[in-house]
Amino acid sequence: MATHSELAEEGAIQIVIIKTTGDKILSQPLADIGGKGLFTKEIDEALLNGDIDIAVHSMKDVPTYLPDKTILPCNLPREDVRDAFISLGAASLAELPSGSIVGTASLRRKSQILHRYPSLNVLENFRGNVQTRLRKLNEGVVQATLLALAGLKRLNMTENVTSILSMDDMLPAVAQGAIGIACRTSDDKMANYLASLNHEETRLAVACERAFLETLDGSCRTPIAGYASRDENGNCIFRGLVASPDGARVIETSRQGPYAFEDMILMGKDAGKELLLKAGPGFFDC
């Protein structure tokens, strides 16, 4: 989703909907077709080609590196980062009968589910938009699914939520619930517009989490979760984990420090280095 000022009247905005490869190819796991960058590739190309002036991304889908000649100076206020549990027959993951099938395309969710509830089965590659996943649930393909609460709120579809998972039950994906807006490095006009929209608390939290992810250099086949937030004293609390896809191993860590950019980048990197060490060689191999 983006804007193109040249085609719009002065002071108006044109919204361009761009369907990405990640949206189109639903039959295969993301890791098999190129990873999460497939949700940003076509939008990045349109930005660099000058077809659009700003690019709006779900930060969860943005690779830890940005394309050359682009910057991302703006994060909007973050939505609720938690995951929602949706089921027609159970109030929570704990209440699902043994052998129940939970649908998710996320290895992060799969590993945390199986770690706590090994008697459940997880249907992988449960992809598609929210409506598609809910239809499969209603058809009995799965007994439950998990979706980001942020997406359901933005779609005004929270009436489908059975319950909300706590951070202890399901640590969110890095940058979950955050929207980022990018522009070309050379476009000072757009950069200034975006700077005025930036929500600094969100930007710093996302930067911390992305520093953690970048240090781990995890593939789409490595379950990784991370969340930075401000505590009641104004400090940053960071929690991160890595897991084996089957949930047998979950390795967690946490950090606390000043809610400031440099400190939070260091916290994210340091937490990532600790988990790399704890996980050992081969843990992040495809």
**Would residue 234 be called left, alpha or beta, if left means φ above 0 and alpha means ψ between -120 and 50 degrees?**
left
68 is catalytic: no
Beta-bridge partner residues of 237 = 229, 256
Alpha-carbon span 23 to 17, nearest angstrom: 12
**Strand stretches in the chain, DSSP E:** 2-3, 15-16, 54-58, 70-75, 83-87, 101-103, 121-123, 144-148, 163-164, 179-184, 224-230, 236-243, 250-257
Compute how many other C-beta atoms are within 10 angstroms of the C-beta atom of residue 188: 10
Q: Which of 53, 61, 169, 187 is catalytic?
A: 61
Query: The tokens 């929270």 sit on which residue?
Result: 158
Alpha-carbon span 177 to 205, nearest angstrom: 11
DSSP conformation class of 158: G
Alpha-carbon span 187 to 22, nearest angstrom: 28
Alpha-carbon span 27 to 105, nearest angstrom: 11
Order of strands, sheet of 224-230, starting from the edge strand that comes earlier in the sequence: 224-230, 236-243, 250-257
Question: Which tokens in the block code for residue 52?
Answer: 């659009």
Q: Which residues are catalytic?
A: 61
